[in-house]
Amino acid sequence: MSARVLVVYRERADVQPYADAIASVGVEPLLEEVRPGLGIGLCCGLVLTGGDDVDPALYGEIASPETEPPDPQRDAVEAALIDEALARDVPLLAICRGMQLLNVHLGGSLIQHLPTAGRHVRRTSDRSLPAHRVAIQPGSLLASIARTDTWEVNSRHHQAVARLASGFKICASDPEDGTVEAIELPARRFVLAVQWHPENQISSDPGQRNLFQSFATAL
């Protein structure tokens, strides 16, 4: 039987690309809509997906006009899953909103609306199309996965990491505007978070599939 990982989502219509990406590397995705009491259970990995903005109250700020209405239940459920994953040293892959919540829950903060948001919010019918380049930090976990110092990535986010949570390392950034694009937690077996959407790029860019393959290998 293949390894099984928990994939948390709010909108069913948006979760299938994540499931397909995980299945493509021989791992079984267990798709679970956000609900109170949700736990990792017998799963051996956790994937946090994209979605609406994290509540700014969680990092001590008032919502800016550009920030979306909060989803307190989702924030709380996913925060508890992060705690469980870290306590058990379960491999964790966090994507877009997942990266932002991971950083906030562990003590970081966010830029609520990027001055260069137009560069990072590219919504096209083909979600795999690259929007900009990221520079990958040499010696990082991400660098060992990418095997290159730059990647062309897609992008659908208007927020990003401001204050980095303690213990984390920035492993990719936008070389033009400095936006943090990926972070990792070296003290754990596998905790990697990216700001773009690799689940949409696995067919067009083998490197992006390597993200999921490396996650699978860590299970």
Q: Active-site residues: which are they?
A: 96, 197, 199
Query: What are residue 56's phi and psi, to 5 degrees?
Result: -60, -20
As a whole number of angstroms, the distance between CA 17 and CA 19 comes to 5
Q: Taking a C-beta distance cutoff of 8 angstroms, is the pair 167, 202 a contact?
A: no
- In what helix (H) or strand (E) does residue 180 lie, and over which residues does it extend? strand 180-184
* pLDDT for the residue 79: 98
pTM, two decimal places: 0.96
* pLDDT for the residue 128: 81
On average, the pLDDT of the chain sits at 95
Residues 69-90 have a mean pLDDT of 98
Domains annotated on the chain, with CATH: 4-218 (3.40.50.880)
